[in-house]
Every structure is written in structure tokens, then in C-alpha cells.
Structure 1
């Protein structure tokens, strides 16, 4: 009975995996077709012949490199800002005593319930008065003043670190900032990696803010740039699929390099 249940579990996992992978494989195959093959009815599953030239054509027919570079700038600055600001604020909420600490933290959590579309207009007005419209600054500057999800994540990480480490640091003469930087930050590497990956994925795929704050094509991020080429590639929609798949490569690379941190615990890494 146990053996049958085991094989049934494997079969269910295989079917579920196939259902999730099938749309991605379809996109890969469509990106390697000509326009005639792409629009053929009934459709052919496999491209014949395979048009590998679709990917070089995307680079030659668009500002794909500039769009990618803009996304890299926004993502890297956002990650640095989110990791530094969120961890510092979270450390204060987790380890420092000050008036209305719990009330302020509840307010921070409350901001997570506000949809981005509600705040986008006030942000637009503020950035317009500051002269930051049509620049990349509005896309990353807000991460430097604290991210509610990041604050919550890092606060939970710092609360799980035994107080013995903090007391030992005080005996060695560390002030609160030194304790935060030299003791708590290294022990929270798995959570920092998680925050960095979530921030990267959010900023890399963001489309709402760039569509509001950016107007010049040379400042477009990658998702915005790919969408702007839809009209240019009318009649060659397979290029859109190729460009979309190329935009996924950085996300896969970042996830593969940071995956090991997901399986580590904050305490175990600190003790090691």
C-alpha cells in the first residue's frame, strides 16, 4: 500500500511539474519560429526549421542593451537601499527600546495593505516637484527609506537570534551599531538574500512605476522597453517572445546563485 501511494505521489508531482513547465516550453518553441510558423493554424508544436537568428535580431533591431542596463541600475540600487534601510529599521524594532515601538511597527505593517495604485499619484506629484520625472531615480529611491515587507522579514530574523550574542557583544565593548553590523547582519545572511531576491524580482519586472515616471525611450527599463517595441514588431511577434525570455535570464542567474541561502537558518549560520 505504501509503495502504491509513493508511486502515485511521484506521478502527481510529475503531472503538476509538466503543467507548470508546459507554458514556458511553448514560449521557448514559439520564440524559435518564423512568423508564418508562429501564426499557423493548427499550430505546430516544434519549430521547423529552428530560427536561432530571432535572438540576435532582437538585439540588432532594438535598444535591448540600453533597456537592460537601465533595469540593472534600478535593481542594484534598489537592492542596496532595501537591504540597508530595512535591516537598520528592523534592528531598531527588534532590539532597541523606544516609545511607541509596537505602535509604530503596526503602522509599518499597515502600509503593506495599501495597493501601489493608491500611492502612485502622490508619488508622481512629489517627484514632479523635485524635478525627478523621466529619470531612473523615482524607481529606486523609495527603497532607501524602508520597505515594509523587508522590515517585517528582517525584524523576524533579528528576533530569532539569541540574546546571548548581543550581551557578548556588549561585554566586548560594541555599541548598538557595531552589534548590528558585526553580529546581527552576518547571522541574517539567509534573510538578507531572500530580501535581495524579492527586491530584484519586483524591480526587474516592474511595469506600473516606469510607465508613470518615464517618458523618454532611452530611460525605459526592460519590461517597458519590450512593450514599447510591440508596434515596431507588428508582423514579427515571435521577437516579443524572444525578448521576454531573454529578460528572464538575469532572474534565473540571481536565483541560482542565492538559492543556497534559502536552506540555511539564521541561527545555524551564526553559530557556524
Structure 2
């Protein structure tokens, strides 16, 4: 039986929707607060509280317990340790990530002082050092083309670090799934064009080998090892894109009706984001 959202261990990257006058808050706690709700409210609006659960997360092979407020309007906030008693205050600034250390649940619950590194670090060091982060959805990044008129998939975003950290919205609507075999057989020529473009894009944004699947509707990406494939699978699933794994090969969906600026772009984008996060941040910290 599948575990409830709050009960399972979360291995997927955290996506923060911040920028302009919207910031984020991460609260680090001890295991005793797992599944407990933490509330915050704008100063002077104690009756209008926002809450989130403390979740167990696996980061770099370590277990951490965090409450993440992915988007909060800028302002001075009251932190609530229980229904009636405030546990401190924190200022949320637009485009920035505030951090609070509640690991000492019996002592002080003050915000982490300036210049002191939060423990344990939840965001990759290259990205967490940035103060201002654009909130523009990565999914709306304009298409870029090379001199031959082909999509320049490796130039779509300012940097892959921006893409990996900010993420943008996942695939919109229903789960992006592979086409049915009969649909593919009815238009094999168009299906081949879709496969070729996804294959070209995946090669450009990952440099990993792309393999053709014997099963219609799938295209494979060979990871460095099974650990990498398993981590990327978990991260891709939460982006609303169907994915399966056979040992160290990830299989991603494809179909003849996939459009260049929609489904094809979504597949390549989610792989670019998750591959960068793994190879440049998680794997390097191990």
C-alpha cells in the first residue's frame, strides 16, 4: 500500500516559487516534529496563519526534517510553536530564502544569524549562495534556434543551475504519458521525427547515451549507474512526467502527436533539470 504524502521519505528536489516580493522559508527541526504542522502569520495578522508539515527528506544520503514554505509575501512573520504561543519572528524578503533552526526543540528557536551556515544544508551551495532568484517559470523559456534552424536545447536557459534550482511548474494538465502502440503504428513517420528530436535534445543537455526502446512509446537514457537512475526517476515523477527504469536506463515517454514547444520540450526540460541537479550538486557533495 502506498504511503501517505506526509509519511513517505521525500527524495525529490525542492522547488521554490520566489522572486519580486515573494520569498521562501525553510525551518530545520529534529525528528520529534516529523508530520507536525508549523504555522506562520504576518505580524499583526495572527488569525490568518499559513501552515505546512515537517517532512522527512533524504539529501546527500542524510536524513533531514524540514518545514518548507515555498512562497510567502515579503514581510515580518510570527512563528508559532503551538496554537497560542509565538516561537519567534523572521523577516521574509522578496527573492530570498530565510532559514530558521529549530533543531534544539527544548531551547532557543531563533533565526539563524547572518553569516552562519544552516545545518544541515538543504540547497546546493552553488545555488544557495545566490541572493536574488528569478521566479519566471522555466517552462515558458523562449525557444532558441541555431543557424541550421534546429532547437538549441543547450542554450534554452541562462544556466542549468537556474533551471535546476527554480524549476518552474511541472508538466501542465494530465500526466504526460507515452502514446499507445496503435496510435504510433498509425503514424510511424511522425513518431520517428519526435524520437529523433527528443534524442537530440537529451544528448545536448546531458551528454548521456540515448538508447532506443524495443517498446513503442518510450525512449531511453542510460545513466552512470542505478543509483543515479533511481534518483532521477523519483525526481521526474513529481514533475508530472511518466518515467520507468530498467537497471541504469530511464525510459521517457514519446508519441507521434508530441509537439515541439509542448510535450517534447517538457521531456527535455525535466531531464535537463534533474540531471544537472544530480551531477553538479548532489553527486559532487557525496
> Which interval holds the TM-score relative to the shorter structure?
under 0.3
Q: Looking at CA atoms only, which structure, 1 or 2, has the larger radius of gyration? A: 1
> TM-score, normalised to structure 2's length?
0.22
> TM-score, normalised to structure 1's length?
0.23
**Greater share of residues in helix:** 1
**Greater share of residues in strand:** 2
Structure with more relative contact order (C-alpha pairs < 8 Å, separation 6 or more): 1
